[in-house]
Amino acid sequence: MWVKNPLAGPLVFTVRTDNDTLKAALADQLPVVLGPYETFKLVLPPELESPAIRSELEPYSFWSRMQPAVPDTSVRYVLPFPRGKTHRVIQAYGGKFSHRASPFAYYAIDFDLAVGDTICAARDGVVVGLVEENRNWVHGPDPKYREYANYLRLYHADEIYTDYVHLKYKGALVEMGDTVRAGQAIGISGYTGFTSVPHLHFNVMRPTDQGTLEGIPVRFEQIDGKDLQEGDRVGHD
């Protein structure tokens, strides 16, 4: 049986089962970390290959998750908009509107980009997530609109991810699997999803041991994210 990682970032693959026979047969092979687009051949002993025997081994399920990561703390991020521009922070760490209640978004920073403004990559990376089909009028100050946000997700060398959220309809300037450079234009800001005003929601995340993503603090070239407060204006040359 062949397994393929469809992403440009690593995945941990395993099989979940309560069957001791199957657990023993796979113990030396799983879990396995699959690199970007990597394939892996899962080998069952000949005595377990027949359909009749396989049916006796059920239930089992295939499961994958992102590889847990420790961020490179020496990295400085580029502000996620073009050089020469300045923008105001409209929500900082732990912002009460949408950041405070979620470990995923607690360290996110919202910048007041207008509809049509350019979004730039904060680090070199690879595009591993892209949604741009939601229309610009699908938004509101209610969490029910969260799933209607257009966004880009980049994967970085230390297995960290960055999100760029609230893009406009068809607002991606890159495609899945593209390699991007820090400062490169990657999208156009919009007004989609869980929000009351147009802006860019920027978030840095690491995969956890539980297979989820959690937000982590960010340090920009000019300033540490923890020092940014609502109302501050930031920019770079």
- Render 173-232 in DSSP notation, one character per residue: SS-TT-EE-TT-EEEEE---EE-SS--EEEEEEEE-TTS-EEE---BBSSSBGGG--TT-
The yes-or-no verdict on residue 12 having pLDDT over 90 is no
What pLDDT does 157 receive? Answer: 87
162-199, pLDDT tens digit by residue?
Answer: 999 999 999 999 999 899 999 999 999 999 999 999 99
Question: What pLDDT is stored for residue 116 in this prediction?
Answer: 98
120 Cβ contact partners less than 8 Å away, ≥ 6 residues apart: 78, 79, 80, 81, 82, 182, 183, 184, 185, 186
Domain 86-235, CATH? 2.70.70.10
- Domain range annotation of the chain: 2-66, 86-235
120: amino acid identity, one letter: C
List, for residues 65-104, the tens digit of each pLDDT value: 677 778 888 999 999 999 999 999 999 998 888 877 778 8
Neighbours of 126 (CB within 10 A): 19
* Per-residue pLDDT, 217: 96
Backbone angles phi, psi at 144, to 5 degrees: -65, -20
Whether residue 232 is predicted with pLDDT greater than 70 in this model: the reply is: yes
Q: What is the pLDDT of residue 62?
A: 60
- Supply the pLDDT for residue 55: 61
What pLDDT, in 10s, does the model give residues 147-162?
Answer: 999 999 999 988 899 9
Q: What are the pLDDT digits (tens) for 209-219?
A: 877 889 999 99
β-pair partners for 66: 11
pLDDT, position 58: 58
DSSP strand pairing (161-172 vs 109-111):
unpaired
Tell me the pTM.
Answer: 0.81
* pLDDT recorded at residue 202: 98
Name the residue with higher pLDDT: 194 or 116. Answer: 116
Contact (Cβ atoms closer than 8 angstroms) between residue 124 and residue 156: yes
Q: What are the helix (H) ranges across the chain?
A: 20-26, 51-57
Q: What is the pLDDT of residues 21-77, one digit of tens each?
A: 888 888 888 888 888 888 988 887 777 766 655 565 555 556 666 777 788 889 999
